[in-house]
């Protein structure tokens, strides 16, 4: 999914107001923080609308390793989080975070952490064929495609991701999405157009009937409820092991440790 600027800022403001961590932590030490971040994000959105979704996704990926610590922003070596397979080639928005960090440092040097900048600044992405090609030709050893894939999409993906290809071709995650943050993802699942098996299984598996299938159906027709509950879910994720007090460090450059 892409995210419009209005939907993006609605969600970010919701995160700030509802977060269990103190939303006014920088009220005295960096009072212009939110204005600075918003200004830089607005500039990025004017240049490329889907950057809002990319920043949100970057925030999401930061929590996969050791919780909220801004580790996904570190350059490191080829074995670093930034260059791990789920991030390599399609995690994006790092340069926007760099710009925000520079602006914040000019206003209040050594005060605001990179993890907090990423959280404040916080989906349309592309996926390598290698992540979903197993569904296209020999799913679960059946010598046939995944039967839950919609037939037209299956044909298009088979032409895009050749059976003996190198797996490096990319495809849009949310097929047929528009430049808005909406509930299109769930409508795709209803039509058998979830790109990843882990997505489509939410609607098409046997267990989905009693668990996730009703949620997919509900969110597909109740967009505003999805917005609210999505925000709550992001807040809950954002409280996974954040570094507080004297833990960690305030990096001068989000790409490297001090």
Annotated binding site for Ca(2+): 62, 65, 67, 69, 71, 81, 174
Three-state DSSP at 9 gives helix
Give the residue ranges of DSSP H helices in 191-222: 197-204, 213-221
CA distances from residue 199 to 8, 144, 192, 246 in whole angstroms, order as listed = 23, 19, 10, 39
Tell me how many degrees the CA angle 71-72-75 measures, rounded to the nearest 5. 90
Residue 23 structure tokens: 């939303």
- In angstroms, how far is the first alpha carbon of the chain from the final one? 35
Distance CA 60, CA 244 (A): 19
Query: Is 59 a residue of the active site?
Result: no
Give the separation between CA 9 and CA 26, rounded to whole angstroms. Answer: 19
- What are the percentages of helix, strand and coil residues in the chain, rounded to 5? 50, 0, 45
Catalytic-role residue among 59, 61, 184, 213: 61
Instruction: Compute the distance between CA of residue 239 and CA of residue 70 in angstroms, rounded to an integer.
Output: 13
**Residues annotated as binding site?**
62, 65, 67, 69, 71, 81, 174
For the chain, how big is the Rg over CA atoms in Å? 20
List 126's β-bridge partners, or say none. Answer: 172
Residue given tokens 């305030």 in the structure block? 250
Query: Which residues does the annotation mark as catalytic?
Result: 61
């Amino acid at each position: 999914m892409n995210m419009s600027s209005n939907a993006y800022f609605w969600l970010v403001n919701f995160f700030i107001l509802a977060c269990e961590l103190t939303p006014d932590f920088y009220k005295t030490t960096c009072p212009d923080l939110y204005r600075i971040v918003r200004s830089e994000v607005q500039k990025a959105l004017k240049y490329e609308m889907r950057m809002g979704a990319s920043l949100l996704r970057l925030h999401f990926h930061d929590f996969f390793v050791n919780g909220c610590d801004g580790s996904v922003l570190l350059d490191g070596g080829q074995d670093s989080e930034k260059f791990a397979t789920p991030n390599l080639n399609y995690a994006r928005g790092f340069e926007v975070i760099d710009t925000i960090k520079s602006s914040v440092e000019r206003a209040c040097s050594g005060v605001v952490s990179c993890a907090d900048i990423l959280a404040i600044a916080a989906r349309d992405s592309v996926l390598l064929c290698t992540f979903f090609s197993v569904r296209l030709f020999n799913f679960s050893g059946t010598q046939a495609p995944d039967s839950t894939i919609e037939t037209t999409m299956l044909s298009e993906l088979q032409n895009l991701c050749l059976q003996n290809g190198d797996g490096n071709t990319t495809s849009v995650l949310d097929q047929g999405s528009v430049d808005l943050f909406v509930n299109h993802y769930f409508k795709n699942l209803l039509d058998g157009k979830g790109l990843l098996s882990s997505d489509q299984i939410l609607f098409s598996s046997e267990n989905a009937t009693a668990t996730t299938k009703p949620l997919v159906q509900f969110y597909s027709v109740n967009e505003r409820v999805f917005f609210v509950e999505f925000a709550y879910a992001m807040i809950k994720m954002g409280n996974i092991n954040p570094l507080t007090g004297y833990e960690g460090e305030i990096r001068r450059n989000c790409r490297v440790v001090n």
